[in-house]
Amino acid sequence: MAAADGISLRMADGFGPGELQKSDLGLSTEMLDLSTSALDISRLALEESEVLSPSTITFSNCRSASEDEVPSECASEDDKEFSEHNSGYSAVGCNEPGKLKTRRKSSKTLSTKFMRKLGMKSSSSSLATACGVDDEKYKEHLEDQHTEIWTKELLPNWSRKQSCSKVRSLCFKGIPSQIRGQVWCSLLGNKLNITADLFQVLCEQAEKSREAYEEEKEHIENADGDVGGFGGKAEELLLKAISTHKMILLDLPRTYPELEIFRNENSPYRQHLLEVLEAFVCFRPEVGYSQGMSFLAALLLLYMEPADAFMVFTNILTSSCFVNFYRMKMPEVKMYMYAHEKFLKEELPYLYSHFKKLGIHPEMYMVKWIMCLFCQLLPLECTCRIWDFFFLDGDVAIFRTGLGILKLLEKDLLKMSFEQIAYQLSHLPSDIDEDELMRSVRSVQVVTNRRLKDLLKEASSVYRKQGSKNENP
Contact status, residue 190 vs residue 91, Cβ threshold 8 Å: no
Q: What is the pLDDT of residue 346?
A: 97
pTM: 0.71
Task: List, for residues 189-246, the tens digit of each pLDDT value.
Answer: 999 999 999 999 999 998 887 777 777 666 666 655 544 444 555 555 444 445 788 8
Task: For the chain, give the mean pLDDT.
Answer: 75
d(CA 441, CA 436): 9
Residue 107 three-state SS: coil
Task: Return d(Cα 309, Cα 303) in angstroms, integer.
Answer: 8
Contact residues for 428 (Cβ-Cβ < 8 A; gap 6+): 377, 378, 405, 409
Residue 368 has pLDDT above 80, yes or no: yes
Q: What is the mean predicted confidence (pLDDT) over 175-182? A: 94
In the chain, the amino acid numbered 413 is: L
Phi-psi region at 182: left, alpha or beta (left = phi > 0; alpha = psi -120 to 50): alpha
For the ranges 3-7, 237-241, 468-472, the one whose mean pLDDT is highest: 468-472
Greater model confidence, 44 or 316: 316
What H or E segment, with its residue span, contains residue 262?
A: helix 260-263
pLDDT at 129: 54
The per-residue pLDDT for 91 is 35
Structure confidence at residue 199 (pLDDT): 98
Percent of all residues in the chain with a pLDDT value above 70, rounded to a whole number = 64
How sure is the predictor about 175, in pLDDT bands with cuts at 50, 70 and 90? Answer: very high
pLDDT at 232: 54
Residue 59 near residue 160 (C-beta atoms within 8 A): yes
Q: According to the per-residue pLDDT averaged within each range, which of 8-12, 122-126, 316-320, 355-359 is highest?
A: 355-359
Identify whether the C-beta of residue 51 lies closer than 8 Å to the C-beta of residue 173: yes
Q: What is the pLDDT of residue 8?
A: 45
Q: Which residues pair with 66 in a beta bridge?
A: 69
Taking residues 172-193, report their average pLDDT. Answer: 94
Instruction: Look at residue 140 in the predicted model and tell me its pLDDT.
Output: 81
Complete domains list, the chain, with CATH: 29-188 (no CATH), 196-317 (1.10.8.270), 324-471 (1.10.472.80)
Closest CA to 206 of 253, 249, 171: 249
**According to the model, what pLDDT value does residue 150 have?**
92
Among the ranges given (122-131, 382-391, 440-449), the one the predictor scored with the smallest mean pLDDT? 122-131
Q: What is the mean pLDDT of residues 450-466?
A: 89
355, amino acid identity: F
Average pLDDT over residues 304-313: 98
> What are the pLDDT digits (tens) for 41-62?
444 444 444 444 433 333 333 3
